């Protein structure tokens, strides 16, 4: 099982801070495609993905027991 952490606006839009995913192994790109079906997670163009606390490209393989963080863009001034 993969633990998926949601932050900031993603957490608010989905209404949860943690999701779980049972289909492994899966690439980051495949997971992003599947998660777009979850209400509130339909726009991945600017979301960064980290796997086990390291930013991950789309070709990185996520395995059972890994933790994924979805990090939305932040703005400030």
Alpha carbon distance 63, 45 (integer Å)? 23
pLDDT in tens, 20-64: 999 999 999 999 999 988 888 877 777 899 999 999 999 999 999
- Over 90: is that where the pLDDT of 4 sits? yes
**38: containing domain:** 2-71
- Over 60: is that where the pLDDT of 77 sits? no
Residue 48 lies in a domain: yes
CATH number at residue 43: 3.10.20.30
pLDDT at 57: 96
Residue 70: pLDDT band by 50, 70, 90 thresholds?
very high
pTM of model > 0.85: yes
Residue 18 lies in a domain: yes
Alpha carbon distance 68, 60 (integer Å)? 11
């Amino acid at each position: 099982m993969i633990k998926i952490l949601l932050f900031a606006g993603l957490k608010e839009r989905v209404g949860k801070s943690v999701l779980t995913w049972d289909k492994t192994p899966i690439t980051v790109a495949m997971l992003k495609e599947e998660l777009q079906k979850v209400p509130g997670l339909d726009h991945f163009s600017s979301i960064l993905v980290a796997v086990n606390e390291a930013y991950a490209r789309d070709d990185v393989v996520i395995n059972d027991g890994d933790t994924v963080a979805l990090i939305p863009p932040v703005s400030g001034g």
